[in-house]
Structure 1
């Protein structure tokens, strides 16, 4: 009973404190403008594809560059210039979420405009802009967005105008004269201290910001124009927003940023804090006595939400068999629904698997930092006693292999769908290798680790074996080979050496599987010879019979030249020497620009000979004890997690 009372009091305190903080710090705003005047593009054109490629990279890059980042992608008229910025002081995860939401909004609402921007935010203010021309250092005054309150001020207008005007133009002068050096989010920003109290005890609060690439003079012009425009259109209103590509202005009759409040409320908060300190101290003592020692140490803080075990148990009906989606090498996966109605997939890691602990820590630390539409999103985790749980977004259409390797379900994957799956996987891997704030090598790309959403768009999953590379790091070595044989390149299996080109090899095998509808492991004894997919495709290449690889279900409804080009690219990915394999950025260009000439592929790794030798991994040999381009191949598809170290 005492424990319940303690928890109840603590809950109500934090709820009370949370409501107060939110009441005095909310910044919720959305000012989005899609410009038709400068031109339009055709949906799914190269410009549109470049736009969809660059905007998802902004969240991680903005947080990695002190809240401000500019970039571009493409060539000529199809080049897209993009920029993201957060207000100074924003927490990285809050900034990243704001940029992601603004980017998604532009992609959804600006369906064919070549120029658009969005000033938005809930917990912070952020800007996302894209256009077809370079804008760095240039003052952007058009297009303009305007939002105004529908309520009147109901005050002596002469007095109010005098106070209001003095505050606004004073802020502008301060911004222009005291801006910080360099291009960062804190340059040309003011808001937290600019509050004036009116006779009726209401406050005038204002926020202004310019993009840091413009000059102080241009910033002054932009903000003054915003204030004048507001006076012209919306005088007498109780607040509003004027936004332009280069600057933002908002004011309200309540302190939407500043946290200064009355003395009575401050006193109440102080008392509440003192009570909370006593309660929390008691709680810590109780928890220390009862809490079991955790087996896994995680960095503090992590970028994932930690769920209570009881929350996950309720979401999955206590891990009911009816909620079970599947089972993998590291545990079971259950479908669940959180209290807010969000559907989730919960991976319950095995309590006895040592490798499961490594995977758990890897995913909590690594995947939480990644945000891309072609990567499965980690929503949070739970670590309590022996339970290790990972909570992901729910992806309804299971995995690619569920459809691809079933003769009936495969009919749902026509060539258009398969081509899109290949292209979207390319973007996901390219993000991991190049565009995210971390350089990630996945190391276990295969059809069962590609999930499909409701629209059959792919999402790369299972980062338990992923490795983080340094910015300038190109290769690494390991004494433990992990992954799935058949998808692993020869230099990795033989010498424990892996790099971005290891993922390229796995991706090449995946391309060949998607086109053929055949598992890499499905090639058995054929005409007395041990065979595998890459060997089979190479022999078709040599005999100029690549069309025989194409799944009969799509053969009559696809462009033959296009499919053959994709097979050609797949063969380039599985070449024996990693130096010969193209990078993911080159692969993306090859897939999207048909005019790019493809080099002739060299023989692939794991090209099987006729010699009846057995699989070296099956013999328990160490990596590095063998190294031959031509050998007898295993058809085992199981994930390898433990090989005798060197």
Structure 2
């Protein structure tokens, strides 16, 4: 059995004062010492703890899997989870909020009150999917698995006081027995437990139903099913026509050793790179030629979990490799009626899968010399990165001459579709625009800091900010992005500078030097455009002034910053917030990169009601006229592709 251990550490903003961070860290250590014993001493192996006083209070909880009945084993299991969190987390981030998933004994601690949030409706689910699909009589087996999960969930919800159940299903065919488990924290009522688990079951749509296994979690509940036994004791319920052999008394589980560490934790490090390598082999031109002329295959899937040190910062996406015929069927042969837009890398189409899921399909142009580079970049990056403010990549297709990226469809197109149109701007009041600014900032913060691989986007602009049904922003188009290790966040290009003029930092446009501060510069331009409704690259819209940045600086210097804000926003209502945003934007577009804030600073300034931003200096491009030009390999059209959702990163 493939053993998958996945630990997610939710790193958030640093506390403003080191002394306060030390106090919070000390409280975390007190929790780590006490919770293993308290959990094992509880009759239901569940415990919560609150240590310290505001603003350094730590709320924590832990529980053991329902079939771990031995008190000593439970205590060791919880202690092992804490040890893994501390071992996998860089020392300087040890004191941030953390959550562990996909382990036998989950642990959660935070500066927010997670204990009283019993329903956790806002928790983002974290999922791992078995890369293999059901074989044989798919309809029969998928139906039986669904019934198994429904029955297991129902039993767990009604199983007081543990809220825990296990099950097994025999299809009566050569398909192996499927085992299931479901559990809620024991403090949930039967109704809340059932609602929590049913919400997770809703993630198994027609696309994912044929998978041979999955684990889906939130803080208060989870379920898992696999085609091999993974829990102790016999199943509590059975589905199927045949009698089932009991689960082994010594199941195939990681053997616990000193410190609770499993020898099998190394398996993902060996297996997963092979899986990823197999995917790129599948997408290679050689294999494409080999497949050419053969009948179209059914959808193939790959498990896009990276090596253990690469998956710490985001849950794995359910990533699929699509067949070209599926793409043709979904878009009515790429009909003009389904075309959403045309960019430098190719066209984007709206499509629909057989299960009704709406998707956006980026069909890379065959004539684009950089097309395959962008294709590979987006596949590598977005499949690993997941955040509520990043675009969500569902899969790809590489067949014959086609290179296709598949995203979840977003109905509200891109940000420029709204902010540069006077009629559509009226649909966005200040509270929504402020939320969009904050959302973009959180997305960049994740890319720059909270992702284990630091990512520099290099092409942040309104047309690359997509909006979901609730107008939440999603950063898209990672074709020009660069990744770095955690200790390196700067580079320079020896090739042609790429990106969009008007949003490029001066050191990048003139010398090819890019860093996280390059994205900060682009963010500053973006904020000025959101506030004013004017394009930085359209100098005629700023009267006789050279560009939007210079115009904003002149108004700021003269104390007339309110003249920059679009009249539809009624500055008098939220004047303090608007002035702060202009101040932050001008700090972001400083000429020298060292004078610009980091996204950590930007998010802190945006979210704090008391923090006063520094006074900006004269910005970059003050004496430069910016034309309406774009780098030759940048996609320019605005269209909606789609989003990624992941954990909310919030300061403690």
Name the residue aligned to 1:5: none
**Mapped partners of 1:472, 1:562: distance in 2:** 34
Structure whose residues are more often helix by fraction: 1
1:515 alignment counterpart: 531
Task: Provide the C-alpha distance between the structure 2 equivalents of 1:80 and 1:317, rounded to a whole number of angstroms.
Answer: 56
Equivalent of residue 185 in structure 2, options 243, 261, 266: 243
Structure 2 residue matching 1:633: 3-state secondary structure: coil
- Answer yes or no: is 1:67 the counterpart of 2:11: no
- How far the C-alpha of 1:386 sits from its partner, in A, is 0.8
The 5-angstrom pairing of residues 152-551 of structure 1 reads 183=82, 209-211=104-106, 241=183, 243=185, 252-254=235-237, 290-291=291-292, 304-479=319-494, 480-524=496-540, 531-551=546-566
Query: 1:230: how far off?
Result: 7.1
Listed as ranges, the gaps of 5+ residues in structure 1 are: 1-20, 28-62, 84-126, 147-166, 188-206, 215-226, 264-284, 294-299, 609-631
CA positional deviation for 1:409? 1.1
Q: Normalising by structure 1, what TM-score?
A: 0.57
**Distance in 2, Cα, partners of 1:481 & 1:243:** 53
Contact 1:302 1:364 in 2 (8 A): no
Q: How big is the shift at 1:262?
A: 5.5
Aligned to 2:626: 634
- Tell me which structure has the larger Cα radius of gyration: 1
**CA 1:483–1:368: 2 relative to 1, 3 Å:** same
1:243–1:354 CA distance, 2 compared to 1 (3 A): same
Instruction: Identify the residue that residue 611 of structure 2 maps to in structure 1.
Output: 596
Q: Can you give the 5+ residue segments of structure 2 that lack an aligned partner in the other structure?
A: 29-45, 87-101, 110-155, 168-180, 188-218, 222-230, 247-285, 295-301, 306-318, 635-652
1:48-77 Cα deviation digits (max 9, x unpaired): xxxxxxxxxxxxxxx9x9526475657699
CA distance in 2, matches of 1:66, 1:390: 26
Deviations 1:481-506 (A, max 9, x none): 10000100100011100000000000
Inter-partner Cα distance in structure 2 for 1:414 and 1:383 = 42
Give the Cα–Cα distance (whole angstroms) in 1 for the partners of residues 519 and 363 of structure 2.
26
Following the alignment from structure 2 to structure 1, what is the Cα–Cα distance between the partners of residues 24 and 232? 29
Q: Classify the secondary structure of the residue corresponding to 1:596.
A: coil
1:84-163 to structure 2, matched below 5 A, reads none
Using the alignment, how far apart are the partners of 2:374 and 2:48 within structure 1?
37
Query: How big is each residue's C-alpha offset from its partner over 1:567-608, in whole Å with a ceiling of 9 and x where there is no partner?
Result: 011000000000000000100111111211211111111111
TM-score, normalised to structure 2, is 0.57
Alpha-carbon deviation of 1:434?
A: 0.8
Kindly tell me: are residues 139 and 354 of structure 1, through their superposed partners in 2, closer, same or farther at Cα, counting changes over 3 Å?
Answer: closer
How far does residue 255 in structure 1 lie from its aligned partner after superposition? Answer: 8.0
Task: Count residues in correspondence.
Answer: 430
Instruction: Please give the alpha-carbon distance, in whole angstroms, between the structure 1 residues aligned to 2:369 and 2:165.
Output: 67
Counterparts of 2:418 and 2:77 in 1: how far apart (Å)? 61
SS across alignment from 2:426: helix
Deviations for 1:527-577, whole angstroms, at most 9, x for unmatched residues?
7x6611111111112222111101011125631122111101100000000
Cα 1:489–1:68, aligned 2, differ >3 Å: closer, same or farther?
closer
Q: Which residue of 1 aligns with 2:599?
A: 584
Structure 1: distance between partners of 2:436 and 2:371: 29
- Deviations along 1:205-255, one digit per CA (max 9) or x if unpaired, are xx99334799xxxxxxxxxxxx9x979789999998573599999973358
Contact 2:464 2:477 in 1 (8 A): yes
Larger CA deviation: 364-373 vs 67-76:
67-76
CA distance in 1, matches of 2:72, 2:325: 54
How large is the Cα RMSD of the aligned pairs?
A: 4.8
